[in-house]
Amino acid sequence: MDCKVVLVQNNPALGHVRSNLEQHVASVEAAIRAGADLVVFPELSLTGYFLKDQTYELGLEPDAPLLAPLLELSKKISISFGMVERSREQRLYNAHVFLEQGRVLSVHRKVHLVTYGMFDESRDFAAGDRFQFVESRLGRFGFLVCEDMWHLGGTYLHFMNDVDALIVASASPGRGADASGESLASVRIWQTLLGAVSLFTQTFVLYANRVGWEDGISFSGQTCAFDPFGRRIGMLEGFDPGELAVHMRSSELQRARVTTPLRRDEKPWVLLGQLEQISGLRAKPSAERA
C-alpha cells in the first residue's frame, strides 16, 4: 500500500470527449514523470456532468478503442477516471473505471443516482446494483461516486471488505455559505463527511472533485485526502484546476487498526438479522395489497 497518488482536479469541456481525453493523457503523463503510482480523476471527468440529451452519444464501453491511450499508459501507472458507460444492453451508467497494467480492472457504476434539487440523473442513467472494490497491485480499493458517499451502506460494505483506501469521485457544485462566511457550506459539509468516514472505516479517503461551470452551476473543487485517523493530509484550495500529490503508507493503516480494532470487534451478523426483519416488515404491506 506504500504509494504516491495524484488527485486531478479538472474542468472538463462539456460533451467533448476527445479534448478531455487529451487532457487526461497529459495529466497522466505528468503524474508518471512525478513518480506517482496512481492517478485519480473526478466523476464524469471524461465528459462533463450536465449532459442531458448528449448522454447516449457520449456513452462508451470501458475498453473502447478511443480509450486505448489510457489503457496503454496504465502499464506504467494505475488510472481511475469517470465516464458514461454504455453497456451491451444499451443502458447508460455514471461509471468510474480503474485501469491497471494495460487492462480494465474494475468498473463501478454509481448506485445512488441523484434526482432531487438541481439534479436529474435518473432521467439518463441506470443505477448500479453493487459497490465495487478491486484488488490492485497497490492494495485494495473501494469506489464511491459522489452521492454514494452520503449513504452509509456503501462505506460500511467497504469497511467490511477491508479496503485500504476509498476512491471518492465527485462533481459537487458549490452551494451556500457557512456560518463563518469564509467558506461554502457544501465544502464544509463534504470535509466533515470525508473525515468522519476515514475515521470510522480506518482507511485512506481520496476525494477528487471537479471545478468549472456548466449551465450556470459552479463546481467547488477542494480535492483532498484523509488518513485512517480522520486527519486531512492534503487539499487543493480554491476553484482552479490542479493536481494534489499525497502518500499512502501501510504503517498508518496498521497503526490505526491496531490502536482501535474496529474491524475485529464488528458484528455484521447482528445487523444482518435486524435488517432482514426491517425489510420483511416493510415488504408486508405491499404483499398484503397484492
Mean pLDDT to the nearest integer, 172-198: 81
Instruction: Tell me the pLDDT band of 176, cut-offs 50, 70 and 90.
Output: low
Nearest to 44 by CA among 73, 80, 71, 76: 80
In the chain, what percentage of residues exceed pLDDT 90?
85
pLDDT at 55 over 70: yes
- Decide if 99 contacts 74 (C-beta within 8 A): yes
Instruction: Tell me the pLDDT band of 289, cut-offs 50, 70 and 90.
Output: very low
How far apart are the C-alpha atoms of 261 and 79, rounded to whole Å? Answer: 31
**Phi-psi bin for 52: left (phi > 0), alpha (psi -120 to 50), beta?**
left
pLDDT at 284 over 60: no
How far apart are the C-alpha atoms of 105 and 97, rounded to whole Å? Answer: 8
pLDDT at 183 over 80: no
pTM of the model: 0.93
C-alpha 205: how far from its chain's center? 10
Instruction: Tell me the pLDDT band of 279, cut-offs 50, 70 and 90.
Output: confident
Q: How many other CB atoms sit within 10 Å of the CB of residue 141?
A: 28
- Type of residue at 259: T
Question: In Å, what is the CA distance from 73 to each residue of 5, 38, 64, 138, 244?
Answer: 15, 11, 15, 16, 19
pLDDT at 96 over 60: yes
Delineate the domains of the chain, giving CATH numbers in brackets.
Answer: 3-264 (3.60.110.10)
